[in-house]
Amino acid sequence: MRYLLFVVLVAALLGGGCSTDPKSSGDVPCEFECVTEYQCDDAEGRYVGDDTTCDPDPCAFTIEIPYVAGTMQGWDPGATPMTETEAGSHIWTHTFTELDPDARHEFKITDGTWDNNLPASNSRCYADELGVITITYDANFYDDGWMPARDRLGVNVDPGAWTAVGDWQSEVGGSDWNNADPTTMMLPVIRDGVYSYTGTGVEGTFLWKTVNTGSWDAIGADNRSIDAWNAEMTLAASDTFTMYVDALGGRIKIEIEGGVTPGDCNCDGTVDFFDIGAFVMAITDPAAYAEAYPDCDIMTADTNGDGVVDFFDIDSFVALIVGA
């Protein structure tokens, strides 16, 4: 009976040619193109996507000539100009000396006044054992997967303990928004000042960021700042996700490695009738499937779990569709 149902569905599908997905608004073509929204050429100094006509120009630098103001110099917005590392690099630094060793300080980058400054909430840093703080302001825009994409704030001292936090911590056995939760403690990786946390089995859309353990001194979507902005992630239960924080460079990123959901042959996150065409293609023409669904794993069609994609998967696939 299931096989007959499958044959009827396949026949209807094959006779209908390329169809649109009624779950989406408007027409969805059989082939998709990924279009980047904004981009400036290299001469403009930063990447922001293709074919922009935005006003104001998104390629304009947030602060052309930066100053640093903070607790280490009395919060004077125009007293401490930064020095460009080399002409045209748009990377600026300033070093403070003779501070109290290991002392915590707060700061902002300004345009010499309080009219234009960042981040929205104060940033923070620590002096080293000699009482030295070096702050770096990188005004460039980067398309490297790290957040923030622009206006990154670097420091010379890593406070040394980091925790990944958010409304997802309870999904991995911890407690949500717990800035000292050992369950989501981040571990150092090979590169100095970079830490990571890896999790799995979390499904849904959640908020996250990274914090100095036990505090809300954070690095988030906006920058290195006190209670930095949250980033967002959307996960399937089969995904493995790894969060990274670059404590010295002031940036975070998340890498998501998708698992295989049996029956979700079109990889839209749902097992339903819209997977039939992709399933048929997978078992009859694997090469065509790979070309039509380059981001999918053909093993989604191995619905009976025997490690092979073939006609013996039909009954179990139909059972998944009928069950859905």
Domain closes at, from 154, 189, 209: 154
The top-scoring range by mean pLDDT among 6-10, 158-162, 201-205 is 158-162
pLDDT mean over 7-29? 35
Q: Identify whether 54 is part of a domain.
A: no
- Could you give the 3-state DSSP secondary structure of residue 294? coil
Higher-scoring residue by pLDDT: 149, 66: 66
Q: Structural domain tally of the chain?
A: 3
Domain closes at, from 257, 287, 315: 257
Domain closes at, from 257, 284, 302: 257
pLDDT mean over 108-121? 96
Strand order of the β-sheet with 67-70 is 67-70, 104-110, 117-126
Residue 208 CA: distances (Å) to CA of 75, 176, 231, 264, 280 = 30, 10, 5, 27, 39
Segment 241-279, tens digit of pLDDT? 999 999 999 999 999 887 677 888 988 777 888 889 999
The DSSP element (H or E) to which 210 belongs, if any, is strand 204-212
Residue 40 reports pLDDT greater than 80:
no
Higher-scoring residue by pLDDT: 57, 153: 153
User: Would strands 104-110 and 67-70 be described as parallel, antiparallel, or unpaired?
Assistant: antiparallel
Residue 315, both tokens: 């009954």
Q: Which pLDDT does position 132 carry in this prediction?
A: 98
Residue 313 reports pLDDT greater than 70:
yes
* DSSP codes, 228-277: PPPEEEEE-TT-EEEEEEETTTTEEEEEEE----TT-TT-SS--SGGGHH
Do both 251 and 288 map to the same domain? no
Q: Identify whether 43 is part of a domain.
A: no
Give the rounded distance of the alpha carbon of 242 from its chain centre: 10
Mean predicted lDDT score pLDDT of the chain: 82
Q: Which pLDDT does position 111 carry in this prediction?
A: 97
Q: Which pLDDT does position 51 carry in this prediction?
A: 47
- Could you give the 3-state DSSP secondary structure of residue 209? strand
Residue 287, both tokens: 């090469």
Residue 87 reports pLDDT greater than 60:
yes
Give the rounded distance of the alpha carbon of 176 from its chain centre: 19
**For residue 124, what are the domain limits?**
67-154
Do both 124 and 176 map to the same domain? no
Q: Identify whether 126 is part of a domain.
A: yes
Helix, strand, coil percentages (3-state) for the chain, rounded to 5, are 20, 30, 50
Higher-scoring residue by pLDDT: 149, 58: 149
Segment 193-228, tens digit of pLDDT? 999 999 998 988 899 999 999 999 999 999 999 999
Residue 37 reports pLDDT greater than 60:
no
pLDDT mean over 92-118? 97
Do both 288 and 276 map to the same domain? yes
Q: Which pLDDT does position 4 carry in this prediction?
A: 47
Do both 132 and 175 map to the same domain? no
Phi and psi based region of residue 74 (left: phi greater than 0; alpha: psi -120 to 50; beta: remaining): left
pLDDT mean over 108-133? 97
Residue 240, both tokens: 């493995």
The DSSP element (H or E) to which 10 belongs, if any, is helix 2-16
pLDDT mean over 106-130? 97
Do both 252 and 167 map to the same domain? yes
CATH number of 237's domain: 2.60.40.10
Q: How confident is the model at residue 324 (pLDDT cuts 50, 70, 90)?
A: low
Q: How confident is the model at residue 59 (pLDDT cuts 50, 70, 90)?
A: low
